[in-house]
A and B are shown apart, each in its own frame.
Chain A
Amino acid sequence: MGAGIILSLRQELMVTGIIFILLVMNVGVAELKTAVILKIVNLLLLANVILGCFGGPESTLFSGMFHTNRLIVFEKNMLNLATLIVSLTAYDWLKGHRQVVEFYMLLLATLVGFFFMISAGNLLMFYLGLELSTIPLAALSSFDLQKRQSSEGAMKFILSAAFSSALLLFGISLLYGATGTLDFAALSVRLDGSPFQLFAFILILSGFAFKVSAVPFHLWTADVYEGSPVPVTAYLSVVSKGAVFFVFIQVLYAVFKPLAINWYNILMLLSVLSMTVGNLFALRQNRLKRLLAFSSVAQSGFILAGVIGSSRAGEASVVYFILIYIFSNLGAFGVVSLISAQTGRENVDDYKGLYANNKGLSWVMALSLFSLAGIPPTAGFFGKFFLLMAGAGKGNYVYIGIAALNMVISLYYYLRVIKAIFMDRQEQPIGKLTIPLLPNIAFVVCVAGIMLTGVAGWVYEYIYSLSAGL
């Protein structure tokens, strides 16, 4: 039994272990050089990623509070990888920061939170995981202590998060009142579509929607993304959103199966709103982080299309897309983070004429944006295609049509950035930037992911073989 527990919990344990190593480093070992610390940490994370890749048993522990299977393991590995990439791209920013170790401890704490959330077998564990991942994130987002925007963003984040989790809790409590259990397995059998339960469900749903920043629960997104340090923004937009989507799918497919007919419509509405509103807001943004924030709102609209597909293909396509999304979005944010760390410029206009001096960065950015826009041969194309394909499974082509048109709108603002980079000129364009080793590795990984994940069909095949569907 013990070995079994260790094996099934190994990813959580490894990350926790790293946290404690860092704690020891922070308390015991005196004043290491920041660069050294960064190297060590990244090595640890790399090891974490590699070790995570070994398959684990399909098991349920602690009387159903914690369960894991191959898909969940895979998802956790994706999150590990994403975290590694984030920390690689954060290199430039962290070099100048003093509380590096604390940064990583908080980051990894949130990661653990996500892990437990994904593996949660009942609402309590889910809630704990959620909070464990939210509260430190709030702290992280105000990590630029001197920046007004950073603290403003953090404030908005923590208050909105507290509010949304309070609503979530209220929903959970109502659900508990209605069914008398918090256990997922037990819940799914006791649900009937009565208004009360539906209301409870909607409250819970709002909690999810808040985390994946689906309209109309998205309003915090832009401000927090803009205010937070770029790596935190990247982490928020990829890891946080991805993890929540993973658990969202499980909860919807496994727990709220009886309400499927209801949440199908609700989520379709949210999806349409998210795509449209996100795109419309992104159209006018000049601040790149904000633009990416709204684009991520729109992206969750697209992901929801896969979710409501509520089929095996749907689940697979969501996971697949999030994998691609990790590469694309982190590629984009990586470039933004590097440039803002070295020059402090974050506007679209600042990127005018970027190509003149920084060919590599420009292409990374371009590929990432193409992938986000869903342009072949980048992976994003396949991701979007399969998402909407799954979404069309129920034969709602009007909805798919709206989604397709939204893809066109989104193309516009992505191309605006491309245009700035490649076509426009300005007096003092960003000079030649030196890309340190670690971010460079991150870029290579992202580009490779963007180019290969889609064309190599077996990736999707693998995910499909893991996923179960409704």
Chain B
Amino acid sequence: MSQVPLTHILFVSTALFFIGMYGLFTRRNMITMLMSVELILNSVNINFVAFNRYLYPGKLDGVFFSLFIVAIAAAEAAVAIAIIINLYRNFHSIDVEAADEMKF
């Protein structure tokens, strides 16, 4: 792994980050938006682990952070999905364009 410079890994994470963001901006299905968020969180995780591994191997701060992020991502996803399901009950659709009754 030493041959691969850190910046290349960062390239992966950053790209992933913005891909996820793009998905979040464009996917109209709420669940797919949620997936995009997960992608973003993963890119963050890659950052943490990579930095930890490459730059600061002395301590495992990054690793722990990424672990907690994983856990929280799970919780967040769960609640989000619960909310989406409830919204589906009310709107009979999970198209985000449909849920814009409150505006201006």
Contact = CB atoms under 8 A, between A and B. Distances in A.
B12 interface: no
B80 interface: yes
Given A170-B17, A170-B43, A176-B62, A145 B55 contact: no
Given A147-B90, A162-B76, A227 B69 contact: no
B90 A159 contact: no
Contacts of A176: 47-48, 51-52, 56, 61-62, 65
A149 B90 CA distance: 9
Given A152-B87, A166-B37, A223-B102, A138 B69 contact: no
A222 B101 CA distance: 12
Interface string B81-103: 01110110111000010011111
Nearest to B103: A223
B83 A155 contact: yes
B15 interface: no
A166 B56 CA distance: 22
Interface in A146-165: 146-149, 151-156, 158-159, 162-163
A124 B90 contact: no
Most chain B Cβ neighbours within 10 Å, of A131, A156, A166 = A166
A180 B76 CA distance: 27
Given A139-B83, A149-B101, A181 B61 contact: yes
Contact of A154 (B52, B62, B87, B89): B87
Nearest to A147: B90
Interface size class of B (residues with CB under 8 A): 35 or more
Given A145-B86, A146-B90, A176-B48, A182 B40 contact: no
A128 B86 contact: no
Contacts of B44: 166, 169-170, 172-173
A142 interface: yes
A159 B33 contact: yes
A173 B41 contact: no
A139 B79 contact: yes
Interface in A165-202: 166, 169-170, 172-174, 176-177, 180-182
B30 to A, nearest CB: 7
Contacts of B101: 148-149, 152
Overall SS of chain B's interface: helix
Nearest to B99: A152
Contacts of A158: 76, 79-80, 83
Contacts of A152: 87, 90-91, 99-102
B37 A163 contact: yes
Contacts of B52: 176
A439 to B, nearest CB: 26
A181 B68 CA distance: 16
A77 B43 CA distance: 38
Contacts of A128: 68, 72
Interface string A113-129: 00000000001100110
A152 B41 CA distance: 24
Nearest to A285: B104
A184 to B, nearest CB: 13
Interface residues of A, number: 42
Given A152-B87, A155-B83, A170-B44, A180 B102 contact: no
Most buried by B among A127, A149, A169: A169
Contacts of B76: 131, 135, 158, 162
A92 interface: no
Nearest to B82: A139
B64 interface: yes
Contacts of B17: 170
Nearest to B65: A124
A166 B41 contact: yes
A75 interface: no
A292 to B, nearest CB: 14
A12 interface: no
A315 interface: no
Given A148-B91, A180-B55, 13 more contacts: A127-B65, A139-B79, A142-B83, A146-B90, A148-B101, A155-B30, A156-B99, A159-B34, A159-B80, A166-B20, A166-B44, A172-B65, A173-B44
Interface of A: 123-124, 127-128, 131, 135-136, 138-139, 142, 145-149, 151-156, 158-159, 162-163, 166, 169-170, 172-174, 176-177, 180-182, 222-223, 226-227, 284, 290
Interface of B: 10, 17, 20, 24, 30, 33-34, 37, 40-41, 43-44, 47-48, 51-52, 55-56, 61-62, 64-65, 68-69, 72, 75-76, 79-80, 82-84, 86-87, 89-91, 96, 99-104
Q: Which 10 A-B pairs have the closest CB atoms?
A: A173-B47, A151-B87, A177-B51, A180-B56, A166-B40, A223-B102, A169-B44, A152-B99, A148-B90, A162-B37
18 contacts: A124-B65, A127-B65, A135-B75, A138-B80, A145-B86, A148-B90, A155-B30, A156-B99, A159-B30, A159-B80, A166-B37, A166-B44, A169-B41, A170-B47, A176-B47, A176-B61, A177-B10, A223-B102
